[in-house]
Chain A
Amino acid sequence: MTAEITKLTSQDALEHAREILGKFARDLTISDWHLVVECRPDDLPEVALRLRDDEKLSCKYLCCIIGVDFIDWMEALYLLRSQEHSVPVRVRVRLDREKPEVPSVTYIWSGANWHEREAYDFFGIKFLGHPDLKRILTREDYDTHPMKKDAWPHRVRRTEWRWEELERPRRLPGEPDRRERS
């Protein structure tokens, strides 16, 4: 079966994206045949809506949302794809690491719901306006976001056992302590 897909070159996609996104995109590049759009957190819903509803770059499919911790800053990456052409789009949002907050895109792609919960679970990124932002893979009362580079390792190193601190064997009241007697 031959692919009935109009092949869009990445250069065309780049120019078209520049046209439709305008000032909302801070930076537009092509890396690794992906079209990379960088935008501010506040502009994300506008960028996402324009990418989805545009006829040429119709990014109807949200592949996944990826959080990355670069120690100095944090990033949320949205991998998008279209049925009509073969240039995948990567939307990159740089977040403040102390207070990572970004508007939710759940109302744009329904599948974003769980991906955002996962990013919140692993990185503590707050998705504002998410219908039910709670942990998804780790347990509910986990006190850290484990994929952050400075996450508490959550393992207390076991110190060596010291025999004197061990509890003495229990005995009933009145029963002589056999260890003392011997």
Chain B
Amino acid sequence: MSATEELTGPGQPVLRLEEMILNMGPQHPSTHGVLRLVLHLDGEQVISVEPMLGYLHRGFEKIAENRTYLQYLAMISRLDYLSGFFMEWSYVRSVEALMGLRVPKRAEYIRVIIGELNRIISHHIAYGDFLMNLGASTPFVWAFRDREDVYDLLEMVTGQRMMYNYMRVGGVRWDLPDEFEASCRKFLKEFPPRIDEYEKLVTENEIFLSRTLGMGIIKPYEALDYGISGPNARASGVDWDLRREVGYSVYPEFDFEVPLGQHGDCFDRYKCRIEEMRESTKIIEQALDSLCGGPVNLKLPPMLRPPAGEIYRAVETPRGEYGVYLVSNGGLRPWRLKLRDPTFSAISMIPKLTAGNKIADLVAIAGSLDLIMGGVDR
């Protein structure tokens, strides 16, 4: 009689006790794209997780070496497709810094306005998808309903809904349309009550609280150790926001708060994103008030030749620090372009966060980290 038979008695079906290996993804709806998680399971308990990346690898860094600086600008918003504007911003910022350009003031305000609108729609997805992972479908539909209003604004300015291609080195592509300001102010008036609605629906819901409180805790020193940034780190109490610390663009002019969490669990990460949406509306309002006249881009030659050198510039995207490291040899094409994605670091922490939890909690934790695979796989 084998050891496993002893548990159920002779002649009874054998109880299988060995660990089970299960592939979650790459097409699983709660992995947000094409992430494969290899789960080692003991019943429903997760023993260990191994994330497998690369299903969306398109060789962005290699392609950059064969494109001129402006050609590459067209494809960079495909990286993190929910916050494409920030991808363009980080790239453009590093090229501008390398060339030593001063961007016109009006262009900087426009960048801030569009960027913060983009942050709002990205957090909409984070909110809706996280709740969808937990099994609530109403918040998802509400988020998608309200996202449309922002999309209308962005379409009015850039002509696109997702892949904007609106940034240019030295400014933005064209000026804001005349009717933009009124529509944007209308949206800013309507939006904060809707955030209250979201919160009323979710934040104090008992099922939601029991699923998220104390789940997937990231300690502040762990967040730094794993290189986690953005709302994921701020939920743990790491007080770091590049908009404030580095103060790029015209952010130092604005008065806004950086929402912080205390415990670093799934609930705090959710709450941080909700508060950031409120702060974004404040920033947009101030930017609209101080919008000045003037040109929106610089006159530059069609072929950019930044001087030889290296540079690293980062922006605060909805997911954290997105950095572009650029090496130029003075030619038409970058010698090396490295894209530093915040989600890459966040995914590397999933094995640590989920070991010992149930599968359903793994889904909640992965959802609360707000993963987008487009930027990770590059």
Residues of A within 8 A of B (CB): 1, 3-5, 31-32, 34, 60-64, 66, 68-69, 77, 79, 83, 86, 88, 90, 109-111, 113-115, 118, 122, 135-139, 146-147
**In the complex, what residue of chain B is closest to A32 when comparing beta carbons?**
B311
Q: Inside 8 A of B222's CB, which chain A residues have their CB?
A: 110
Q: Inside 8 A of A62's CB, which chain B residues have their CB?
A: 227
Pair B225/A110 contact, Cβ less than 8 Å:
yes
Pair B225/A34 contact, Cβ less than 8 Å:
no
Q: Is B231 an interface residue (CB 8 A)?
A: no
Pair A86/B227 contact, Cβ less than 8 Å:
no
In the bound complex, CA of A79 to CA of B310 (Å) = 13
Pair A138/B348 contact, Cβ less than 8 Å:
no
Q: Inside 8 A of A114's CB, which chain B residues have their CB?
A: 344-345, 347-348
Pair A147/B321 contact, Cβ less than 8 Å:
no
Pair A3/B54 contact, Cβ less than 8 Å:
no
In the bound complex, CA of A68 to CA of B229 (Å) = 24
Closest CB of chain B to A56's CB: distance in Å?
Answer: 16
With A138-B57, A146-B59 known as contacts, the answer to whether A109 contacts B225 (CB < 8 A) is yes
Pair B338/A64 contact, Cβ less than 8 Å:
yes
Q: Is B245 an interface residue (CB 8 A)?
A: yes
Q: Inside 8 A of B325's CB, which chain A residues have their CB?
A: 64, 66, 77, 79
Pair B244/A3 contact, Cβ less than 8 Å:
yes
Chain B, interface SS category: mixed
Q: Inside 8 A of B352's CB, which chain A residues have their CB?
A: 110
Pair B244/A61 contact, Cβ less than 8 Å:
no
Closest CB of chain B to A178's CB: distance in Å?
Answer: 45
Closest CB of chain B to A53's CB: distance in Å?
Answer: 13
Among A32, A61, A118, which residue has its beta carbon within 8 angstroms of that of B224?
A61
Pair A64/B323 contact, Cβ less than 8 Å:
yes
Pair B224/A83 contact, Cβ less than 8 Å:
yes
Pair A63/B340 contact, Cβ less than 8 Å:
yes
Q: Is B110 an interface residue (CB 8 A)?
A: no
With A5-B245, A66-B325, A113-B348 known as contacts, the answer to whether A61 contacts B257 (CB < 8 A) is no
Closest CB of chain A to B212's CB: distance in Å?
Answer: 24
Q: Inside 8 A of B225's CB, which chain A residues have their CB?
A: 60, 109-111
**In the complex, which residues 260-274 of chain B have their Cβ closer than 8 Å to any Cβ of chain A?**
none
Pair B336/A68 contact, Cβ less than 8 Å:
yes
In the bound complex, CA of A146 to CA of B53 (Å) = 16
Closest CB of chain B to A119's CB: distance in Å?
Answer: 10
Q: Can you list 18 A-B pairs, Cβ within 8 angstroms, ordered by A?
A: A31-B310, A34-B312, A63-B321, A63-B340, A64-B340, A68-B336, A86-B245, A109-B226, A111-B225, A111-B228, A111-B348, A114-B348, A118-B344, A122-B61, A136-B53, A137-B54, A137-B377, A147-B62
Closest CB of chain B to A79's CB: distance in Å?
Answer: 6
Q: Is B221 an interface residue (CB 8 A)?
A: yes
In the bound complex, CA of A139 to CA of B378 (Å) = 14
Known: A63-B314, A63-B340, A138-B57. 18 other contacts (CB 8 A): A1-B257, A32-B311, A34-B312, A63-B323, A64-B340, A68-B335, A83-B224, A88-B312, A90-B312, A114-B344, A114-B347, A114-B348, A122-B61, A136-B53, A137-B57, A137-B377, A146-B62, A147-B62
**In the complex, what residue of chain B is closest to A111 when comparing beta carbons?**
B227
Q: Is B140 an interface residue (CB 8 A)?
A: no
Q: Is B120 an interface residue (CB 8 A)?
A: no
**In the complex, what residue of chain A is closest to B258 when comparing beta carbons?**
A1
Q: Is B209 an interface residue (CB 8 A)?
A: no
**In the complex, what residue of chain A is closest to B57 when comparing beta carbons?**
A137
Pair A69/B336 contact, Cβ less than 8 Å:
yes
Pair B227/A61 contact, Cβ less than 8 Å:
yes
With A83-B238, A86-B246 known as contacts, the answer to whether A138 contacts B54 (CB < 8 A) is yes
Q: Inside 8 A of A135's CB, which chain B residues have their CB?
A: 54
In the bound complex, CA of A76 to CA of B238 (Å) = 28
Q: Inside 8 A of A115's CB, which chain B residues have their CB?
A: 227
In the bound complex, CA of A32 to CA of B245 (Å) = 16
With A86-B245, A113-B348, A137-B53 known as contacts, the answer to whether A64 contacts B227 (CB < 8 A) is yes
For the complex of A and B, the 10 pairs showing the least CB-CB separation, nearest first, are A111-B227, A111-B226, A64-B340, A137-B54, A114-B348, A60-B224, A61-B224, A66-B338, A137-B57, A110-B225
In the bound complex, CA of A110 to CA of B353 (Å) = 13
Closest CB of chain A to B135's CB: distance in Å?
Answer: 30
Q: Inside 8 A of B314's CB, which chain A residues have their CB?
A: 63
